[in-house]
């Protein structure tokens, strides 16, 4: 039987990938001795500890073929605990995960319990990120027992949440991208294995049930703003009609010799001017009501458009998995493992970073200053992908550490 395994060094964090080629009846103790020899260990190294596979102790007298060892298993002479603030897969005490979604250390995952932590390029006790532009202690992260997280940028550190500057103590919610230095970080809830797997018939591997994948339609979300109501016309006062009764009353006074006829000289203008003022007041009230309705409808449309943009940003960030998601999908395993088919439109789409890109949300109509608008909004910090189908060859140039890191996690998904 042949199995590809990872063997962890008992005295360090180093590991080596090996191909174990042996008979199924070979005792675990003999395989143990061969592994020690391969790693250059003395027979007494790790004395008192038995060989483990994925944290489970193996019976030294059992045949290796009957042991719970499969392709991809991690063999060690101790079950290494998962530190609370070191990259890895979430443990049972983790409340949240901080994933490095972009930058030189992309792919690192930090499971965090409740407490206060420091993110930076500093000592190992901190959330150490291999990004020299980040600073020794760039951002403080406070995790409460209710999973609420607050961020505290250090003095002089430019930290952004979804592209917007933040003040110390700002709440960091899952799905929002934190940018600092040359890295991007995402907050997420701890993940759990959600793939359907079964031991294979020969016991050397796991059979993975690949679920179907439904891609959302690629459509533009068009939102139309209502038209602003026109202000009421300010019609001039009807002076001619108001003065006409005065001439009539003068004629009546002269012809009838009755002074009370002069009352028409005052009554007529009062009626016409009163009606004109009433019309103006009614027009002003109607305009105020129409303007209020317009502002409410406009605000509702803008809220719907903003929510559509937020949904699009969330979907675009999760569609091409970042290195942390790829790690979780491969190690747990998750249902997103090998999710892309050759017939999918995003097959061989390589995620190379994040950028502000045009969104599919378009807001049509006039702006508040009356200027026409119809340009798509910008989606902040969304993945930028390069299609290998169209390009054929992709080259990466730049500093050695960054290019190697980018090359590693481009190939990971």
Residue 41 within any structural domain of the chain? yes
pLDDT the model gives residue 385:
87
pLDDT in tens, 284-320: 888 888 889 988 998 999 899 899 998 888 888 888 8
Q: Quick check: is 42 in a domain?
A: yes
Q: What is the pLDDT of residue 370?
A: 52
pLDDT at 374 over 70: no
CA distance 305 to 221: 8
Q: Indicate whether 142 belongs to any domain.
A: no
| Segment of 34-43, 57-66, 195-204, 240-249 carrying the highest mean pLDDT | 57-66
- Residue 62 lies inside a defined structural domain of this protein: yes
Q: Band of the pLDDT at 152, cuts 50, 70, 90?
A: very high
Please give the model's pTM, rounded to 2 decimal places.
0.67
Question: Per-residue confidence at 149, pLDDT binned at 50, 70, 90?
Answer: very high
Task: Give the residue with greater pLDDT, 43 vs 295.
Answer: 295
Q: What is the mean pLDDT of the chain?
A: 80
In DSSP terms, 373 is beta-bridged to 365
Q: Please, which pLDDT band fits residue 187 given cuts at 50, 70 and 90? A: very high
Q: Which residue has the higher pLDDT, 79 or 41?
A: 41
Residue 100's DSSP bridge partners are 185
**Quick one: average pLDDT of 327-349?**
84
Paired with 336 in beta bridges are none
Q: Is the pLDDT of residue 356 over 80?
A: yes
What six digits make up the tokens of 182?
């040359």
The number of distinct structural domains making up the chain is: 1
Distance CA 365, CA 377 (A): 14
- Please name which of 61, 80, 90 lies closest in space to residue 7, comparing C-alpha atoms: 80
Range of the domain at 53: 2-76
Buried b (16+ CB within 10 A) or exposed e, 344-373: eeeeebbbbbbeeeebbbbbeeeeeeeeee
CATH number, domain of 71, equals 3.10.20.90
> Residue 16 has what pLDDT?
87
- Cβ 24 vs Cβ 65: under 8 Å: yes
> Please, which pLDDT band fits residue 45 given cuts at 50, 70 and 90?
very low
Name the nearest CA neighbour of 340 among 354, 350, 353, 355.
350
> How far is the first Cα of the chain from the last one, in angstroms, to the nearest whole number?
29
User: pLDDT at residue 265 above 60?
Assistant: yes
Tell me, what DSSP letter sits at residue 27?
B
Q: Which of the four pLDDT bands, split at 50, 70 and 90, describes residue 392? A: confident
Kindly state whether residue 273 falls inside one of the protein's structural domains: no
- Asked if residue 128 belongs to a domain, the reply is no
Instruction: Find the range with the poorest average confidence among 173-177, 326-330, 337-341.
Output: 326-330
Determine how β-strand 164-165 pairs with β-strand 149-153. unpaired
Instruction: Give me the phi and psi of 247, to 5 degrees please.
Output: -65, -40
Asked if residue 47 belongs to a domain, the reply is yes
Residue 53 domain-assigned (yes or no): yes
For the residues 130-134, what does the mean pLDDT come to? 85
The per-residue pLDDT for 44 is 47
């Amino acid at each position: 039987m042949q199995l590809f395994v990872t063997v962890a060094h008992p005295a360090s964090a180093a590991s080596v990938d090996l191909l174990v080629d042996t008979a199924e009846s070979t005792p675990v103790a003999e395989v143990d001795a061969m592994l020690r020899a391969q790693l250059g260990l003395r027979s007494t190294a790790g004395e008192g500890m038995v060989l483990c596979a994925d944290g489970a102790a193996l019976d030294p007298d059992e045949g290796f073929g009957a042991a719970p060892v499969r392709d991809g298993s991690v063999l060690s002479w101790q079950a290494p605990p998962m530190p609370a603030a070191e990259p890895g897969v979430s443990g049972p005490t983790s409340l949240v995960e901080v994933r490095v979604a972009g930058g030189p250390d992309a792919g690192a995952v930090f499971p965090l319990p409740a407490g206060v932590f420091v993110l930076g390029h500093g000592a190992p006790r901190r959330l150490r990120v291999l990004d020299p532009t980040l600073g020794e202690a760039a951002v403080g992260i406070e995790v409460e027992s209710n999973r609420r997280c607050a961020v505290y940028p250090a003095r002089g550190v430019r930290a952004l949440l979804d592209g917007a500057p933040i003040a110390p103590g700002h709440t960091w919610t899952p799905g929002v991208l934190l940018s600092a230095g040359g890295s991007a970080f995402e907050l997420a809830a701890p993940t759990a294995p959600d793939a359907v797997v079964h031991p294979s018939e020969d016991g050397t591997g796991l059979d993975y049930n690949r679920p179907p994948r439904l891609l959302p339609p690629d459509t533009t979300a068009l939102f139309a703003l209502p038209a602003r109501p026109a202000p009421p016309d300010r019609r001039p006062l009807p002076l001619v009609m108001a003065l006409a009764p005065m001439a009539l009353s003068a004629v009546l006074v002269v012809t009838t010799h009755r002074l009370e006829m002069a009352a028409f000289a005052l009554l007529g203008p009062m009626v016409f001017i009163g009606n004109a003022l009433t019309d103006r007041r009614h027009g002003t009230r109607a305009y105020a009501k129409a303007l209020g309705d317009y502002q409410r409808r406009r605000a509702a449309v803008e809220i719907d458009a903003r929510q559509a943009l937020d949904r699009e940003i969330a979907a675009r960030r999760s569609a091409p998995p970042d290195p942390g998601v790829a790690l979780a999908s491969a190690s747990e395993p998750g249902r997103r493992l090998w999710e892309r088919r050759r017939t999918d439109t995003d097959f061989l789409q390589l995620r190379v970073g994040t950028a502000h890109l045009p969104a599919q949300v378009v807001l049509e109509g006039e702006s508040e200053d009356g200027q026409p608008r119809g340009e798509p909004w910008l989606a902040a910090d969304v993945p930028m992908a390069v299609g290998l189908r169209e390009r054929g060859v992709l080259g990466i140039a730049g500093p050695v550490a960054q290019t190697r890191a980018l090359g590693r996690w481009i190939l990971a998904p």
